[in-house]
Chains A and B, each alone.
Chain A
Amino acid sequence: MNSKSYKIKEKISDALELPKDITLDIPKISILGTDSVLIENHKGVISYCDNQIRVNTGCGVLTVSGQRLTIKSIIQEEIIITGNISNVSY
């Protein structure tokens, strides 16, 4: 995350007001209440359990924990996790 190219990219996108999630390849996470989490720009599922899903992203492993977690939909760019979500952390 602290590499030179990353910093240059960040500065450029800041200057040009480009959305960072596209230029920097970092995830955009939308949480809808306690029911669903939408992760855009993910890099695959690392582990999948009933109460914890770990998703690889451009800036580390995102852990979503809760109960009865299901992957509602998964495609190359985004993943939707639904269930009783209690915790979303890096």
Chain B
Amino acid sequence: MFILRLWNYFCGYAIIIIKGVKIERFINLAVVNGIYIWDIEKIDYTTIKAKINLKDFSKLRIIVRKTDSNIKIIEKCGVPFKMKTVKKRKWFFFGLGALFVFLYILSSYIWMIEIHGLKSLDEQAVMDNLNIAGLRIGISKRRIDKREIENSMLIKMQDLTWIGLEIKGTKAFVTIVEKGPEQQPISREDPCDIVAVKNGVIEKILILNGDGMVKDGDTVQKGQVLVSGTIIRGDLPNRYVHSMAEIHARTWYEEAEEIPFEQIEYKKTGKAFNTYAIEIIKKKYERNKKIPFEEYNKSHREMHLLNFGSYVFPIKLIITRYEELKPLDIRLNEDVAKARCEERLNARIKMQIPEDAVILGSKIEYFVNEKSVMGKIYVEALENIGTKAKIN
């Protein structure tokens, strides 16, 4: 029905008033002759109001004559009549069309460049380089080859680690990552000391260059000078050398963990419940539904509903899923608690020990009371603790 109405609107229709004694006959004759009339309303005893297609209007004349009635057009609707007003206001619609064309043309150029991630580099320098690479204000979006600009920028500017180019509308977003202040390796000519990076007991010290300040079996503190690059020999003036040494030391690590016997474990029951919300430009619209679970796991999922190319409309559908959990009170026995404790301790201690260290031994101690198991792990390792430090 709606399609028919739309079609009629496009073809144009008229609202007419028909006056006559034999109104019913008029309607029947119109139907028989294939004239579609709709929205017939009775106004008074001899008058009806109806809508009729523009094309069929001329066919009505025969029926009017046959039934001795009067027709009067009271309103003309539809596209053909609208077109008349368009013709009258030609320049207005021309301007409207021109506006859209203008907008389209303008929106296909880059009008703004934003640079993010600058730390020490000069914005103007980056901008100049971008201009040379091919990204400048006023350039057509079609002529931009993102990959090429990114590559040529990386080649041209040595201080960049990464550059990302993103075009949103008429704006170009340039994200850059600068090279951080690099750890300058101390060159072989520069004098340096070797200091300890952590506490330990020296197991083996092998000096290639420099003066040893400690010997095997010494306990050293973090930051202590192990091998000195300043060589002092009696009356001779001080000499500075680049010290080199292999220093292996025993180091200790410890970690503690407590596991209570009384534990609450949550188990999924398999029941789930979804709520939906719509977010339009940071504003959230949702129905307040009661969550039918007492204990639950909540997870979010967001979806953008409308995308036009790279432009994302700020309309989001947020689906929140609640999964029911059932708390179970359990009591661990001592062995299980200890096993769990050990597992956690091992995992945590692993984070502390550097990868190249050799583990010499480990020991776990348990302290059990009525409520919990307390575990303590001690690990002894052998590792290189020396690092070079420049002498100023």
Contacts and interface: CB of A to CB of B under 8 A. Distances in A.
B40 A74 contact: yes
B32 A71 contact: no
A71 B34 CA distance: 16
Interface string B305-341: 0000000000000000000000000000000000000
A59 interface: no
Contact of B31 (A48, A72, A75): A75
Contacts of A47: 24
Interface string A8-49: 000000000000000000000000000000000000111111
Interface string A47-78: 11110000000000000000001111111100
Contact of A50 (B34, B39, B42): B42
A73 B1 contact: yes
Contacts of B40: 48, 70-72, 74
A40 to B, nearest CB: 14
Contacts of A70: 39-42
A74 B31 CA distance: 7
B21 to A, nearest CB: 12
B37 interface: yes
A46 B22 CA distance: 10
A25 B30 CA distance: 21
Given A70-B39, A72-B39, A74-B40, A44 B28 contact: yes
B92 interface: no
B10 interface: no
Given A48-B42, A70-B40, A76 B23 contact: no
A45 B24 contact: yes
A74 B1 contact: no
Q: How many interface residues does chain B have, given as a range?
A: 10 to 19
A70 B41 CA distance: 5
Interface string B29-64: 011101011111110000010000000000000000
B165 interface: no
B27 interface: yes
Nearest to B36: A75
A21 B189 CA distance: 109
A32 to B, nearest CB: 13
Contacts of A45: 24, 27-28
Given A73-B1, A76-B32, A48 B38 contact: no
Contact of A49 (B1, B34, B42): B42
Interface string B1-36: 100000000000000000000011001101110101
A70 B49 CA distance: 10
A62 to B, nearest CB: 14
Interface string A74-86: 1110000000000
A49 B23 CA distance: 10
A44 B27 CA distance: 8
Interface of B: 1, 23-24, 27-28, 30-32, 34, 36-42, 48
18 contacts: A44-B24, A44-B27, A44-B31, A45-B24, A45-B27, A45-B28, A48-B23, A48-B24, A48-B42, A50-B42, A69-B42, A70-B39, A70-B40, A70-B41, A70-B42, A71-B39, A73-B1, A75-B31
For the complex of A and B, 7 pairs with smallest distance between CB atoms: A71-B40, A44-B28, A73-B38, A50-B42, A45-B24, A70-B41, A45-B27
